[in-house]
């Protein structure tokens, strides 16, 4: 249990550092900024207590917020995505899955896993970009930023998942 906690903490800090130090400076075409730290939510087994997932999601978002200067936006977006990840995993996992299932292409099937990741990314990015703009005065740039960032993040997370980091 302690080893799992240490691995999860190292993964959280590594993803936060990658986001803050590298990915926040990437703005493809002036709009798309990848947010790879959403992949942190994919490492939680279904049997993880919900409050634990919410606390880890909040801590991850808060860590990125502190490094990025985005007060509360990442924490709010990650907390909402963390709130949805287990019920969504329960619905999308195979019927014969055990309680310790982790969202992977192998355990869920490639397309189901893709849909699961896409839903989490879209929810996270929608909350993040709506909180960032806090207005609908310029809906086209907001929609372009949201869609391009979500697509880029989804592609990077799928690539990240193929690397198969250890389960936290």
Supply the pTM of this predicted model: 0.90
pLDDT at residue number 128: 94
- What is the DSSP track for 126-151? HHHHHHHH---SSHHHHHHHHHHHHH
Report pLDDT for 155: 95
Q: Pick left, alpha or beta for residue 56 (phi over 0 → left; psi -120 to 50 → alpha; otherwise beta).
A: alpha
DSSP letter string over 61-128?
Answer: HHHHHHHHT-TTHHHHHHHHHHHHHHHHHHHHS-TT--TT----HHHH-HHHHHHHHHHHHHHHHHHH
How far apart CA 138 and CA 79 sit, in angstroms, is 26
Cα separation, 154 vs 69, whole angstroms: 23
pLDDT at 97: 80
Structure-block tokens of residue 115: 């849909």
Question: Residues 128, 31, 147, 115: what is their CA dihedral angle, to the nearest 10 degrees?
Answer: -80
Q: Where are the domains of the chain?
A: 2-162
Q: Which residues, 6 or more positions from 1, have their beta carbon under 8 angstroms from its beta carbon?
A: none
Q: Does residue 139 register a pLDDT over 90?
A: no
Per-residue pLDDT band for 2 (boundaries 50, 70, 90) equals confident
Q: In the prediction, which pLDDT does 76 show?
A: 97
In contact, 68 and 109? CB cutoff 8 Å: no
CA–CA distance, 18 with 36 (Å, rounded to integer):
8
pLDDT band at 167 (very low <50, low <70, confident <90, very high): low
For residue 52, what pLDDT band results from cuts at 50, 70 and 90?
very high
Cβ 68 vs Cβ 19: under 8 Å: yes
Does residue 165 register a pLDDT over 60? no
Residue 166 has pLDDT above 60, yes or no: no
Confidence of residue 9 (pLDDT cuts 50, 70, 90): very high
Digit-coded pLDDT (tens) for 67-101 = 999 889 999 999 999 999 999 999 998 888 888 88
- Average of per-residue pLDDT across 18-47: 92
């Amino acid at each position: 249990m302690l080893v799992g906690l240490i691995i999860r903490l190292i993964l959280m800090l590594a993803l936060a550092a990658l986001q803050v130090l590298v990915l926040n400076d990437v703005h493809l075409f002036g709009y798309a900024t990848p947010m790879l730290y959403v992949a942190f939510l994919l490492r939680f087994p279904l049997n993880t207590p919900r409050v634990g997932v919410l606390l880890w999601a909040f801590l991850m978002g808060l860590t990125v917020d502190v490094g990025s200067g985005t007060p509360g936006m990442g924490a709010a977006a990650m907390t909402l995505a963390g709130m949805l990840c287990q019920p969504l995993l329960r619905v999308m996992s195979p019927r014969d899955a055990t309680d310790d299932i982790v969202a992977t292409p192998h355990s869920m099937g490639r397309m189901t896993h893709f849909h699961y990741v896409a839903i989490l990314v879209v929810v996270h990015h929608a909350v993040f970009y709506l909180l960032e703009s806090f207005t609908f005065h310029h809906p086209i740039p907001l929609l372009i930023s949201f869609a391009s960032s979500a697509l880029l993040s989804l592609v990077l997370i799928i690539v990240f998942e193929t690397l198969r980091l250890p389960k936290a």
